[in-house]
Amino acid sequence: MDTHALITGAVGGLGKAFAAECAWRGWNLFLTDLQENALATLTGGLKRQFNVNISFYPCDLTAPRSRVELWQEIQRLNLHFHMLINVAGIEYEGDFIRRSLDELHTILRLNIENTVEMTHRILQFRDPQQTLYILNVSSLACFFPMPMKAVYAASKRFLLDFSLALREELRNENVSVTVLCPGAVPTNPRTIRRLNAQGLFGQLSLMNAGDVAAIAIERTLQGKRIIVPGIFNQMLQRIALLLPPTVLAAFIGRRWRRARKEQ
């Protein structure tokens, strides 16, 4: 059976890096993202470089109907998977009160609802001969209650807890669930602007997408539970585990207010 890796958010900064890393390993791919043209361009580029089969299907992963159509296509193509990489995710930062309800719903639908559905559905389409690896892309933000990114950080916390719990539940089913918690990855202009605004912390936390993807795939295959790439980011994770959440939230809130005054 020809098995595939399924990558969501495949034409984003991290998604592309994951697609290249998987193709380099000789894995067949099924890619999804919003824009059909961008998926076609990425697929063409990867096929020229690597000798693998790649299919794609554009999908608005916040829309239940669109997700149903995606899985109908997967069924039509009779694909089976040994890996799911849930990369697609979104962040709108700034005062909670100033965020539109549309923005807040999009975070919840893409980061939480979509990841849960993709994870549930892939279990029906796994390659029964192989371990199924599920890699959920959370964020270093999942270890902190974060004023100005409250919904985003909490959605990534959901992914952390969800991944750890599911990992235990599916242990005897030959399914390995891993959660990736990257710090700062300069992927697109919006993210780069945000990272610059975070000053020294943003710079120290920085890692390029290719390195993050390579580390993440390697450790996922080793069956790791949580991956935090980068020594500075691992230090921040340890601090977060030591301090009470109330202290962390107050500290982060003060930093944001100060950064805003300086802008």
- Residues near ligand NAP (CB under 6 A) are 9, 11-15, 33-35, 59-62, 87-91, 110, 137, 139, 182, 184-185, 187-188, 191
Q: How far is the CB of 209 from ligand NAP (least distance, A)?
A: 7
d(CA 230, CA 201): 13
53 contact partners, CB below 8 Å, separation of at least 6: 2, 4, 28, 29
CB atoms within 10 A of CB 234: 15
CA-based max dimension of the chain: 58
Q: How far is the CB of 242 from ligand NAP (least distance, A)?
A: 21
Closer CB to ligand NAP, residue 78 or residue 100?
Answer: 100
> In this chain, which residue has its C-beta nearest to ligand NAP?
12
Closer CB to ligand NAP, residue 44 or residue 174?
Answer: 44
Q: How far is the CB of 102 from ligand NAP (least distance, A)?
A: 12
Task: Please name the residue that has the structure tokens 């980068």.
Answer: 230
Q: How big is the CA angle at 22 (ends 168 and 182), to the nearest 5 degrees? A: 60
The full length of the chain comes to 263
Q: How far is the CB of 253 from ligand NAP (least distance, A)?
A: 20
Q: How far is the CB of 129 from ligand NAP (least distance, A)?
A: 30
Closer CB to ligand NAP, residue 71 or residue 127?
Answer: 71
d(CA 170, CA 166): 6
List the one residue out of 113, 114, 111 whose CA is nearest residue 152. 111
Closer CB to ligand NAP, residue 86 or residue 176?
Answer: 86
Closer CB to ligand NAP, residue 3 or residue 248?
Answer: 248
d(CA 209, CA 187): 7
Closer CB to ligand NAP, residue 78 or residue 102?
Answer: 102
Q: How far is the CB of 60 from ligand NAP (least distance, A)?
A: 5
CB atoms within 10 A of CB 245: 11
